[in-house]
Amino acid sequence: MLDSFKNFDKLFPACKSSYTEGECTVIEPKNFGTSKLQKIIFKGINAYSLPHDFAEKTSSFAKITEHRGILRKDCDGIFFFSKNNQKYMVLCELKSSFDTSDINKARDQIIGTFQKLKGILGIIEGFNLSEYKTIGVIASFMATDEQLNSLSSREDVDIAFAVRLHNEKKVTIPAIKSRRLYSPLKTDDFELCYLPIPKKCTSFVVDINTLIS
């Protein structure tokens, strides 16, 4: 993995990766100084992270696409690690409320970022994305009982997705469903995890094993 990121840094010297031991932190700089969710700290890994704005900086081609704007959307954090002989790529988005529009937007931000990374990382010598298991992580303040009761009584595809993600915590979006959502983009099965964060907790720590177990 080290050689892959050395090559990444050579190709993108203005957006070099960073390496941390023991934990990896994903931040949302726009939320600093507010009561919104500001950062998630993933414990139990040595990780390589890409800059917060890397996907945004390298996606100028997305401006000429017409597909629902998904390629113009970017998530808050991208990091890579290895655990038990398996390599992982994690894409994370932080939201400060369990609003169904925010949850679905987070899904699109994560998958949009992933689609761009497939092309970008695929040109780097030694970087083989097929060796990585990809996990999308959506973190938000917990939904209230009132919110959940209101949502459960409504029939809507986006609402149903948000409620399912909340209840099951891990959801795999099959490639065939992704094709319906994002055609003509080439899609894969995609795993999304949900992290419920206590209200007013601007910084939250999570054991990485809760995502990969």
- The rounded distance, in Å, linking the Cα atoms of 178 and 139 is 21
pLDDT tens-digit readout, 55-97: 777 666 666 665 557 787 889 999 999 999 999 999 999 998 8
Contact 85, 52 (CB under 8 A): no
CA atoms within 13 A on the CB side of 64: 2
Quick: pLDDT tens for 2-47. Answer: 899 999 999 999 999 999 999 999 998 888 778 889 999 999 999 9
Nearest Cα neighbor of 37 from 86, 98, 101, 113 is: 98
Q: Given the structure tokens 């993108």, which residue do they identify?
A: 12
> What are 90's strand-pairing partners?
79, 135
HEC string for 141-154? ECCCHHHHHHHHCC
pLDDT score recorded for residue 177? 79
What six digits make up the tokens of 200? 């007013």
Q: What is the pLDDT of residues 124-160, one digit of tens each?
A: 998 998 999 999 999 999 988 888 887 776 677 888 8
Give the bridge partners for 53, in sequence order. Answer: none
Q: pTM (2 decimals)?
A: 0.91
Give me the domain span that covers residue 149.
Answer: 2-212
Number of domains composing the chain? 1
Three-state secondary structure readout of 98-154: CCHHHHHHHHHHHHHHHHHHHHHHCCCCCCCHHHEEEEEEEEEECCCHHHHHHHHCC
Residue 166: pLDDT band (50, 70, 90) is: very high
Residue 182: its pLDDT value, please? Answer: 79
Residue 183 has pLDDT above 80, yes or no: no
